[in-house]
Structure 1
Amino acid sequence: MKAVVVAIVAGLAIMMMEPMQATIDCEKLKLALSPCLQYLTGITTDPSPACCNGMETLKSSTPTQDDRRAACQCLKDAAAQFPIREDRAKALPQSCGVEVGVPISKDIKCNE
């Protein structure tokens, strides 16, 4: 019995030491943040409520550093297809009142 308990504890310790894999659904994030494109490209002066809801989805979907890195790369790749205004990207979290934990910029290095 003691050997079984030791084996279980050792197995749990090994699992805890392994890095967690990011579980980001890139398509879901892009869809959630698509309402922000009008603001980010300068078509509208303020982000829409749907955009700010997308920012909340981003925040709740990225609890770990690995999740934030994966989301960063996903959204950076998606944003490269549009003429995103840098000033709007940086202002978006504050405009929505949502702290996402990382700066939003087209020049961000997602692995840092």
Structure 2
Amino acid sequence: MAISKNLVKPLSLLFLICIVFAASSRVDAAITCSSVFNGLIPCLSYVVKGGKVPPTCCRGIKSLYSIAKTTADRQGVCSCLKMAASSVSGIDFKNAAALPGKCGVKNIPFKISPKVDCSKVR
């Protein structure tokens, strides 16, 4: 599958972020930012362009949701997503916020937004 020219820059940035976090970050939780990003890379085309949510995106969301059991895990995931949301250009935050529901995951304890306060996530 070919990558659209519109996605090359965001994907490149996301890949760079993954490498940096894979080498250095655990976000004080058992879940690393690299695992968050790797699980959600299939969602990038949807959050930028909309359309149909890829099944691999939903698998990533469900997997992430199932392993984020503790407050520290959920705050760590929130911090990773917040950092990604403010680093990747072109994200439609309405699409991002709709993803959990479209994938059948309910009760996400925070809004996917660059403005979310992750310290309040429980």
Question: Into which bin does the TM-score normalised by the smaller protein fall?
Answer: 0.7 to 0.9
Runs of 4+ in 1 over 6 A off after TM superposition: none
Ranges in structure 2 where 5+ consecutive residues have no aligned partner = 1-27
Residue 57 in 1 paired to residue 28 in 2?
Answer: no
Aligned position for 2:5: none
Q: Distance in 1 between matches of 2:101 and 2:114?
A: 17
Deviation at 1:103, TM superposition (A): 2.4
How big is the alpha-carbon RMSD for the aligned residues of Structure 1 and Structure 2?
A: 1.4
Q: Distance in 2 between matches of 1:78 and 1:104?
A: 10
- Determine if contact 2:47/2:91 at 8 Å carries over to the other structure: yes
Rg larger in structure: 1
| TM-score where L is the length of structure 2 | 0.68
Match of 2:93 among 83, 86, 97: 86
Q: Distance in 1 between matches of 2:45 and 2:68?
A: 24
**Share of identical aligned residues, percent?**
37
Q: Distance in 2 between matches of 1:86 and 1:80?
A: 11
Match of 1:34 among 38, 41, 45: 41
| TM-score where L is the length of structure 1 | 0.73
| Matched residue type, 2:67 | S
